[in-house]
Every structure is written in C-alpha cells, then in structure tokens.
C-alpha cells in the first residue's frame, strides 16, 4: 500500500504539511493525491474511532451469522447488497466457513435487534438461517486498543 494511505489509515487527521515532511514531497502533491484517492473512491471516508463503552450509551450491537442460498445470476452479491440497504446494518462481509455473511447490526435495545432479525432479515428470500451474538465489550477496534495498557517505561536517555 502507498505510504500516504498508510499514514492516513493510521491517523486520518495528519495534516498535509506533516505528511509532506514525512514523505519528502510538496504539500500540494499531498493534497492532490488525497483528492485523487477520494475521487477514485479508494478513500471512502474519515471516521473517529470512539470507545462507546465509556460513553455508557444506550444501544446494542449484534454480530449475526447468516446462511444464504446464492442466487443463480447474482451469487452472494445481490442478497448482500439487499441486506446492506438496512440502516441498522453497520458492516457486512462475505466469509468462508459454516455460514456465508457476517453482519454487524446496531439497535437501541435487544428487542429492536431481535425484531430486525426475525421480521426483516430472516424473511428475505434466500436467507436460510441466522445466529445472533450480542456484543458485550470491545477490546480492540480497527487495530486500536480500547483501553490503554500501561507501557513499560524506557530509559529517557541511552547510548
């Protein structure tokens, strides 16, 4: 992956000025390349990684395994696209193994998610079965630990 993308994946707030210094290129070039990535749809957006457990927010997240029958023409894509349309669905992946699609779904409470699964998801043509797991705690998200561990202190000056 391009170094510029790696820097932004690590810290999307890194300024163009700093990135220019890190990559030994001009600020204008950084801005142009970011704009090009955005235009090409390679950069799809910028979000903060929030530790929602600390906010004590109402709401639940469920991880749902879904078994589906692929369609003759569209394979898994058509059904995955259809499920993606629901705003409750945060993420959806096609995976290998005992089931086919892995969903991350949010709702205000258990009932709301249960309703989504039984009334909306399970009733879609081609959905053969679901298994719902409610998330209890987030330890690591997108490579970021949700609780900072105390790091081992290094010497402040060493040869």
Interacting residue ranges for other proteins, rule: CB under 8 A = 3, 6-7, 18, 20-24, 151-152, 154-159
Cα(5)–Cα(138) distance, integer angstroms: 26
Nearer to other proteins, 47 or 151 (CB): 151
Nearer to other proteins, 11 or 128 (CB): 11
CB of residue 145 to other proteins, shortest distance in Å: 13
Contact in structure between 2 and 28 (CB atoms under 8 Å) = no
Nearer to other proteins, 37 or 104 (CB): 37
DSSP structure string for 112-138: HHHHIIIIIITTSTTEEEEEEEE----
Q: Quick one: angle between helices 3-10 and 16-23, nearest 10?
A: 140
Nearer to other proteins, 137 or 156 (CB): 156
C-alpha 87: how far from chain center: 14
CB of residue 48 to other proteins, shortest distance in Å: 17
Nearer to other proteins, 6 or 44 (CB): 6
CB of residue 76 to other proteins, shortest distance in Å: 32
CB of residue 22 to other proteins, shortest distance in Å: 4
Structure token digits, residue 98: 């005992």
Cα(139)–Cα(105) distance, integer angstroms: 18
Neighbour tally for 121: CB within 10 Å: 22
CB of residue 105 to other proteins, shortest distance in Å: 31
């Amino acid at each position: 992956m391009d170094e510029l993308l790696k820097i932004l994946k690590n810290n999307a707030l890194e300024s163009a000025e700093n990135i220019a210094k890190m990559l030994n290129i001009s600020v204008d070039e950084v801005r142009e390349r970011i704009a090009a990535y955005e235009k090409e749809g390679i950069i799809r957006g910028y979000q903060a990684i929030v530790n929602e457990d600390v906010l004590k927010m109402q709401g639940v997240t469920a991880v749902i395994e879904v078994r589906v029958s692929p369609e003759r023409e569209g394979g898994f894509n058509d059904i995955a696209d259809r499920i993606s349309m629901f705003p409750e669905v945060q993420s959806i992946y096609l995976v290998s193994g005992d089931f086919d699609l892995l969903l991350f779904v949010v709702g205000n409470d258990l009932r709301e998610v249960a309703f989504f699964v039984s009334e909306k998801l399970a009733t879609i043509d081609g959905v053969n079965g679901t298994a719902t797991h409610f998330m209890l705690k987030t330890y690591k998200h997108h490579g970021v630990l949700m609780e900072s561990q105390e790091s081992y202190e290094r010497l402040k000056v060493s040869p």
